[in-house]
Amino acid sequence: MVKPYLILLGCLGFVFTFTQIVTSEAHSEAEGMYVTTEDIIADIVFPIIDKRVIQEYGGDPLLGWDWKRIVGVTYNDNHTYDVTVRIQIPSENQRNSKEDLVIMRISPSCNSGKINQLKCNHDFKIEVVDYKHLSP
């Protein structure tokens, strides 16, 4: 008696499960967009590096520089990250362009209860730790 009802229930479940179709729409704005971790870090630290480059090479706010790459990321014990970035300062003559190394300290907020509050007691902050001229 129970067997025919189980078979009927199984068939109905099978039919309803495979006849449901889910459609999704892609937003045309995001198509073809690919963001890397380096892009995210660049967006965060760009204004700080920009201020430091202007400070190093004079007060021209239109002074341009190019993001070359992230050389290294180091995690510190107090829940901060030291990000080393290589940048290039172009000039009119391509041979005279300069390369610099910028070491940034990114300190995420310590709001989480999962973080050791004795070692981590800072708010979100980004600062230039070191700035080195690689080329003369």
Per-residue pLDDT tens over the stretch 2-27: 777 777 777 666 666 665 565 656 55
- In this structure, the number of other CB atoms found within 10 A of the CB of residue 85 comes to 22
- Mean per-residue pLDDT for 105-122? 78
Pull the structure tokens for residue 30: 């995001």
C-alpha distances in angstroms, 106 versus 33, 49, 58? 26, 12, 25
The amino acid occupying position 96 is N
- Say if residue 32's pLDDT is above 90: no
Predicted pLDDT at 11: 67
The answer to the question of residue 3 being in a domain is no
**pTM of the prediction?**
0.65
In a domain, 14, yes or no: no
For residue 131, tell me if it sits in a domain.
yes
67: pLDDT strictly greater than 90: no
Q: What is the pLDDT of the chain when averaged over all its residues?
A: 79
Instruction: Spell out the SS3 assignment of 51-73.
Output: HHHHHHHCCCCCCCCEEEEEEEE
Is 18 contained in some domain? no
Domain range for 108:
35-112+119-136
- Asked whether residue 30 is domain-assigned, the answer is no
Residue 7 lies in a domain: no
Measured in whole angstroms, the distance separating CA 94 from the mean position of its chain's CA atoms is 30
Radius of gyration over every alpha carbon of the chain, rounded to an integer in angstroms = 27
Number of domains in the chain: 1
